[in-house]
Structure 1
Amino acid sequence: MKEYDFLIVGSGLYGAVFAREMSNLGKKCLVIDKRSHTGGNIYCENKEGINVHKYGPHIFHTNDKKIWDYVNSYVEFNNFIYSPLANYKGNLYNLPFNMNTFYQLWNIKSPVEVLEKIKNQVETAGFIQPSNLEEQAINMVGKDIYEILIKGYTEKQWGRKAIDLPSFIIKRLPVRLTFDNNYFNDKYQGIPVGGYNKLIDGLLAGIEVRTGIDFLENRAELSRLADCIVYTGKLDEFYNYRFGHLQYRSLRFEHEYMNHPNYQGVSVINFTEKTIPYTRIIEHKHFEFGKQPGTVITKEYPQEWKPGMEAYYPINDAANSKKLKQYNELVKNEPNVIFGGRLAEYKYYDMHQVIASALTKTKALKETF
């Protein structure tokens, strides 16, 4: 008989939700994390009373009422609406692309005229079946918006030319013919009151957690502690890079405290010129409508991932998809290991999708007990 039913590697959303659900069933869980804190990339660091999103901004949004009710059962969410701006050569534009954006670009107030303008630019470009991100973007919004608001930002973010990126990356970007600056189309949206640590603390309440422990450095010893391992780390690292590295984009953050109450008046401004090295500036206090005397801003610099760096965005191109398929064949031979979450599945997940994935897995397990 082993000491724990589940050893959960990683205390981000997938690991925390999994641990909560199994603990509620009376299963004994141990959660470990190699970082010095819990919460994974949604961890918030308090600076002068401001909850700083240490690993980039996270805005919770979903259309799934069950998921919304689930997170709200652990922490109250505020009514924050994500309405970022874009800065191009000093001019500001509303995001996502909507009638405010089109008016700012073209001085056009009519949705009919906007459609005609975009149609003319698309016809001039002549892309019938877009084969890459550049062609897909122009096909969606025309050349002006692509050149001013998409091209530079996207090429910085991914470190590749837009013509070398797959078209599906841009398809999730909202385009509206209304004066609506809400970035997301989802029905439910907000930020935990008091920050995301409150959500993680609620999920992990009463569960044994150890931080500063690297599973892969102590694999044999730690594996003996539990009947089943739930692994949320990098999939290729679990297998010691047998088929080579899966590629990611990484990020570098520069945080700065300022001794005045308001820097930019909005939570996020994207900088779409390629010559500006960072992609956006985040002002964290606006996520929670803060009234603190000072403010904290963060400049976000995208960079190519190398071993030892944090992995943020999987690069789902043909070469990486081939490697992923090889690793997933190995996964099939691991009856006592559950792989879940963004890194273990090598999949870009929004927060509500991670939670849904963990709940789906735990529900399936419940039926076997």
Structure 2
Amino acid sequence: MKYDYLIVGSGLFGSVCAHELTKQGKKVLVIDKRGHIGGNIYTENNNGIQVHKYGAHIFHTNDKEIWDYVNSFVEFNRFTNAPLANYKGQLLNLPFNMNTFYQLWGTKTPEEAKAKIAEQRKEMDGIEPSNLEEQAISLVGRDIYEKLIKGYTEKQWGRDCKDLPAFIIRRLPVRFTYDNNYFSDNYQGVPKGGYTKLIEKMLVGVEVRLNIDFLKDKEYYKRVADNIIYTGPIDEYFDNKLGKLEYRSLEFKTRTIEQENYQGNAVINYTERDIPFTRIIEHKHFDHVTTNHTVVTEEYPSEWKEGDEPYYPINDERNMQLFKQYRELAKSENVIFGGRLSEYKYYDMHQVIRSALNKIAKLESTNDS
């Protein structure tokens, strides 16, 4: 059977494309090498708790059109992300705000907090930051850097902050209000019933086949459709012939605990270097559900290797040059490349959806002309 479009990957980018093309009357086939739809936003029901299998996903955007779009499939709750940081047993609020400054220094007014930060930044006066450590201290001072940035960042990247480039943190969010809402976007929440339900609604009327590795039988699958949308790693599409793009990966250790409430918050970051995981997620707090048990996940950053899931692109000079070479190769293929792996770009969810909608609109206008 011949399809108008073959879409490789059932994550957000692929699923939005599949939905929009199906609305246009196109015959679409979606394939995925995993045994489930949804890519990294897949959620799994654990006796009433929606478990985020590949890390916490909190939808947030200022784009009302995108917010209305996702709410046209499923209803979103009013979850507000207000993570905590645990540093040697001391709990501090994130992002850096007046609560954090009071917990650190006992400052009670914005002027007191600003004066304290200005005093701590003085050690970088007249010095152009040459690495992440110097950049962080120049922005927020040594106390915040040592307790809330240094250990967490070194675990996340697997490198000493002195060996990381300054541009990674050009800005740090600092608020002189008592506001623990991590995101400043107008719209924020988590789908009621989980993200898998959102993807299922997007894929209504679309043929989906799971446990299929497109790259292992690429020539066959290129013949089953007139057009291909590919959302996998761009270097793997070309058999890594120019070299491999680098990523950071994550390992998850999830366990069910027979108690109602484990940590009292959805996200607690562990910012000291000696604790190997970066954070603990307690999934039930994303949905505010009442159960007699709870599910928690520890997240362990790791160097990416063959067979691991690529999570965070390492957008340094070497990798970006390599990606540009692959992007040039892609121009000679009759294939549409999209999504975070094909574009070697860290995307928030609303950005993925906007990118997919723009891609389909461009296809439509090209076909019309």
Report if TM-score (shorter chain) is over 0.5.
Answer: yes
Which residue number in structure 1 is paired with residue 312 of structure 2?
313
Is residue 2:365 matched to residue 1:367? yes
User: What is the alpha-carbon distance in structure 2 between the residues aligned to residue 269 and residue 71 of structure 1?
Assistant: 27
Which residue number in structure 1 is paired with residue 209 of structure 2?
210
Shift of 1:118: 1.0
Judge conservation of contact 2:87–2:270 (CA < 8 Å) in 1. yes
Q: Which consecutive unaligned segments of at least 5 residues does structure 1 have?
A: none
1:39-97 C-alpha deviation (Å, 9 max, x unpaired): 00000111122110000000000000000000000010000000000000000000000
Which residue number in structure 1 is paired with residue 356 of structure 2?
358
Q: Which residue identity lines up with residue 340 of structure 2 in the other structure? A: R
Q: List 4+ stretches of structure 1 deviating above 3 A.
A: none
User: What is the alpha-carbon distance in structure 2 between the residues aligned to residue 127 and residue 94 of structure 1?
Assistant: 31
Which residue number in structure 2 is paired with residue 265 of structure 1?
264
1:316-352 C-alpha deviation (Å, 9 max, x unpaired): 0111111111111101112x20100010000000000
Is residue 2:146 matched to residue 1:155? no
Matches within 5 A, 1:55-66: 55-66=54-65
Secondary structure of the structure 2 residue equivalent to 1:303: strand
Which residue number in structure 2 is paired with residue 31 of structure 1?
30
Q: Which residue identity lines up with residue 93 of structure 1 in the other structure? A: L
Cα RMSD (Å) = 1.1
Q: Which residue identity lines up with residue 174 of structure 2 in the other structure? A: V
Q: Which residue identity lines up with residue 337 of structure 2 in the other structure? A: F
Which residue number in structure 2 is paired with residue 279 of structure 1?
278
Secondary structure of the structure 1 residue equivalent to 2:366: coil
Which residue number in structure 2 is paired with residue 113 of structure 1?
112
Shift of 1:140: 1.7
Q: Which residue identity lines up with residue 98 of structure 2 in the other structure? A: M
Q: Which residue identity lines up with residue 329 of structure 2 in the other structure? A: L
Shift of 1:357: 0.4
1:112-133 C-alpha deviation (Å, 9 max, x unpaired): 1111111121122236433332
Shift of 1:368: 1.9
User: What is the alpha-carbon distance in structure 1 between the residues aligned to residue 146 and residue 242 of structure 2?
Assistant: 38
Secondary structure of the structure 1 residue equivalent to 2:188: strand
Aligned residues: 367
Q: Which residue identity lines up with residue 354 of structure 1 in the other structure? A: V
Is residue 2:15 matched to residue 1:16? yes
User: What is the alpha-carbon distance in structure 2 between the residues aligned to residue 172 and residue 237 of structure 1?
Assistant: 33
Which residue number in structure 1 is paired with residue 340 of structure 2?
342
Q: Which residue identity lines up with residue 351 of structure 1 in the other structure? A: M
Secondary structure of the structure 1 residue equivalent to 2:262: coil
Which residue number in structure 1 is paired with residue 247 of structure 2?
248
Secondary structure of the structure 1 residue equivalent to 2:284: helix
Which residue number in structure 2 is paired with residue 174 of structure 1?
173
TM-score if structure 2 supplies the norm length?
A: 0.98
Percent of aligned positions with the same letter in both sequences?
Answer: 64
Secondary structure of the structure 2 residue equivalent to 1:367: helix
Q: Which consecutive unaligned segments of at least 5 residues does structure 2 have?
A: none
Secondary structure of the structure 2 residue equivalent to 1:46: strand
User: What is the alpha-carbon distance in structure 2 between the residues aligned to residue 172 and residue 185 of structure 1?
Assistant: 15
